[in-house]
Copies of this chain bind each other. A is one copy, B any other.
């Protein structure tokens, strides 16, 4: 499955063992019951009674498609700001999307944590570090600096900001206004794989200066230019912040090039960039992919199914998304979860800007990727 199969959903269906057991003589049934009981006593579990659950025809995620409205999230975050202090112990005023399919766990998908984080005027979120990889995306507002390993990184509308695993980081709001943004982390993956480490840092951030660009950007956010002091390979992107200015410019250029008659877009009317690690051209971090998409008004993407889960956040514009059985209208800040192998498509009413993040690097590094695109079956 190393190539990108584009196959429709399989139709095979498993039989259960029920037929077999029904056909058994009573004494056999008794012996079987005893066998199953002995299995349990020895912490064993037979495959044959649960093959169809263990080996599903296609991915059937417990996570469900879901939408959270920014208009719901933001007021709740603001109320938290009034009631819940920020500081050591709680660490962050972050409110996670809890996928209804995942049994109350605070996880957007089986691999992705997504939350709205809220920092009041002049508050500081103390420094800590963890093995889990994190990023932030700013749908509106400004005035907060996130300090990553001592480097102050301004957060502004449209920016995508990295906190790779084991980097100390804290945030401080230098403005008179609260600010909210979204956090994305690989927390559920890290929990499942049992890879998490955590350490407290300082109670305050280590540097309260407020430069408009970080040192990391000054060194690294230059197109195609690599500092001679930074030639070693790096697991995570050294670019601390991917600024909206550049993202917007790149998307604009793609649609213009398409209009001029040159290949540049993903498909007609659909521009897109991936945020990448300049030291190797790959994803920004080992476990999380981040992309920005822009659809020209009127564009409809073809229906797709992909292995792996993703989260979309509307940045600007209006449209609708179809995910499995659901059709939702989209407005600024809204967040939508697409579980693995659930079909999705997006329709742009106006020009529509969307931020997307996913666990695709995990799926690809483990060679589980498959994609189905309607109309492009082989």
- When distances are taken between beta carbons in the complex, the residues of chain B under 8 Å from A259 are none
Q: Is B76 in contact with A39, judged by CB distance below 8 angstroms?
A: yes
Q: Is B246 in contact with A222, judged by CB distance below 8 angstroms?
A: yes
Q: How far is the CA of A19 from the CA of B191 in the complex (A)?
A: 26
Q: Is B237 in contact with A224, judged by CB distance below 8 angstroms?
A: yes
Q: Is A276 in contact with B225, judged by CB distance below 8 angstroms?
A: yes
Q: Is B225 in contact with A96, judged by CB distance below 8 angstroms?
A: no
By beta carbon, the residue of chain B nearest A254 is: B227
What 4 additional pairs, Cβ within 8 angstroms, besides A55-B187, A226-B276? A31-B82, A60-B194, A110-B192, A193-B340
Query: For the complex formed by this chain, how many copies does it contain in all?
Result: 4
Residue of A96, A189, A237 ringed by the most chain B CB atoms within 10 A: A96
**In the complex where A194-B309, A340-B193 touch, is A35 in contact with B291 (Cβ < 8 A)?**
no
Q: Is B96 in contact with A44, judged by CB distance below 8 angstroms?
A: yes
Nearest CB on B from A242, distance (A): 6
In A241-270, the 8 Å CB interface with B consists of 242, 246-247, 249-250, 253-254, 256-257, 262-266
Q: Is B12 in contact with A59, judged by CB distance below 8 angstroms?
A: no
A130 in the interface, Cβ–Cβ < 8 Å? yes
Q: How far is the CA of A256 from the CA of B96 in the complex (A)?
A: 40
- When distances are taken between beta carbons in the complex, the residues of chain B under 8 Å from A113 are 54
> Which of B2, B278, B307, B363 contacts A281 (CB under 8 A)?
B278
A10 in the interface, Cβ–Cβ < 8 Å? yes
16 interchain pairs, CB-CB under 8 A: A20-B90, A28-B83, A42-B68, A45-B106, A48-B84, A48-B94, A49-B90, A56-B196, A57-B197, A59-B194, A193-B362, A194-B309, A218-B256, A225-B275, A226-B276, A227-B274
- When distances are taken between beta carbons in the complex, the residues of chain B under 8 Å from A132 are 55
A15 in the interface, Cβ–Cβ < 8 Å? yes
A202 in the interface, Cβ–Cβ < 8 Å? no
A378 in the interface, Cβ–Cβ < 8 Å? no
By beta carbon, the residue of chain B nearest A361 is: B366
**In the complex where A84-B32, A196-B56, A257-B218 touch, is A106 in contact with B47 (Cβ < 8 A)?**
yes
- When distances are taken between beta carbons in the complex, the residues of chain B under 8 Å from A46 are 80, 84, 94-96
- When distances are taken between beta carbons in the complex, the residues of chain B under 8 Å from A189 are 366
- When distances are taken between beta carbons in the complex, the residues of chain B under 8 Å from A124 are none
A328 in the interface, Cβ–Cβ < 8 Å? no
**In the complex where A55-B198, A106-B54, A195-B363 touch, is A89 in contact with B17 (Cβ < 8 A)?**
yes
A279-319 interface bits toward B, Cβ cutoff 8 Å, 1 = contact, 0 = none: 11100101100010100000000000001110000000000
- When distances are taken between beta carbons in the complex, the residues of chain B under 8 Å from A256 are 218
Nearest CB on B from A118, distance (A): 11
Nearest CB on B from A197, distance (A): 6
Q: How far is the CA of A131 from the CA of B263 in the complex (A)?
A: 25
- When distances are taken between beta carbons in the complex, the residues of chain B under 8 Å from A197 are 1, 10, 56-59, 370
- When distances are taken between beta carbons in the complex, the residues of chain B under 8 Å from A31 are 79, 82-83
In A21-51, the 8 Å CB interface with B consists of 28, 31-32, 35, 38-39, 42-51
